Structure 1
Amino acid sequence: MSDPTPSPAPGDLKPVPAERRGFLPIHTNGFDRGFIAVVLFIAIHLFWMRVLEQSLPLVVATVISVVLGFVIIRKG
């Protein structure tokens, strides 16, 4: 008996992308990491306005959120 599935021709092979390993405990794509960064941006600002705004300006929270979002999108 012959094999019912023919083997692909050499020109038909497509490279398999290497799996990206980040520090997030889930498999993510660029959109997922961007969404996580935006949600974290909002959470940090809400926490900041409730707890720390009397002592530190909101600009500090923005800088922290942008740096953290950049790290999550690039390395997450």
Structure 2
Amino acid sequence: MSQHQTPLVSARHEEEDAPENAGPKPGFLPIETNWFDRLFISVVIWVALSLFWFRFMEPMGLSIWISNVIALTLAIIIITKG
């Protein structure tokens, strides 16, 4: 019977030794998000920035690739730190 009790005792001991989860890491976004929410926000920003770029910046001669680089940089920052 002691063989069956040993794994339970050790499992309980590991749970007691585990550090408390302090909750989600606070980011700079004003809402609580997971990685998929932050990805969705990044895609929406990319679409909005592209539309803005097509309307106002591309007629001035600036390529859409500049907008894509800006959107990708923002997406990386939002997903990792947001």
- Provide the C-alpha distance between the structure 1 equivalents of 2:41 and 2:79, rounded to a whole number of angstroms: 9
1:1-76 alignment to 2 at 5 Å?
Answer: 11=12, 13=15, 15-16=20-21, 18-55=23-60, 56-76=62-82
TM-score, structure 2 normalization: 0.73
- Provide the C-alpha distance between the structure 1 equivalents of 2:67 and 2:24, rounded to a whole number of angstroms: 33
Q: Which has the larger radius of gyration?
A: 2
Q: Percent identity?
A: 41
| Residue ranges of structure 2 left out of the alignment (5+ in a row) | 1-8
Structure with the largest fraction of helix: 2
User: How much has 1:54 moved relative to structure 2?
Assistant: 1.5
Q: Aligned residues, how many?
A: 68
After the TM superposition, which parts of structure 1 deviate over 3 Å for at least 4 consecutive aligned residues?
12-15
State the match for 1:6 in structure 2.
none
- Provide the C-alpha distance between the structure 2 equivalents of 1:75 and 1:19, rounded to a whole number of angstroms: 12
